[in-house]
Amino acid sequence: MSKIAIVILADVEGAEALGRIVNALNAAKEFQEGKDQVKVVFSGAGTKWIGLLADPKHNFHGLFAGLKEQIDGACGFCAGAFGVTDAVKSAGICVLQQFGTNMSYRQLINDGYQILTF
């Protein structure tokens, strides 16, 4: 069984960004269905996706909602920097602050996770 952390850094603008978020969520779903341990973390500009994907009208809301148990959280510093902390909390997503106000890559590695970034 693999331990995978998928870190979403992609901004929300443009076709490339949409491709990156869909690939990230599909990868998480594949690991989930394979009974692997998978965590999804939103960091950097990627924190802006949470408010969009939490909207039931978004085309990929179902994919996002189906991974709710695998979503570890969003970087607290990044969510604040991009002005989306309230949207993150409203979506029921944890604000991660393991390294000061930031999420911790080191903790993921120490916990045995391989990190994939999108």
Q: What percent of the chain has pLDDT over 70?
A: 100
Give the chain's domains with CATH numbers: 3-117 (3.40.1260.10)
Query: With 90 as the cut, is the pLDDT of residue 1 above it?
Result: no
Query: With 90 as the cut, is the pLDDT of residue 52 above it?
Result: yes
Q: Which residues contact 118 (CB under 8 A, 6 or more apart)?
A: 6, 7, 8, 9, 10, 20, 21, 23, 24, 27, 46
Name the one residue in this structure whose structure tokens are 């991974």: 67
Output the pTM of the full model.
0.96
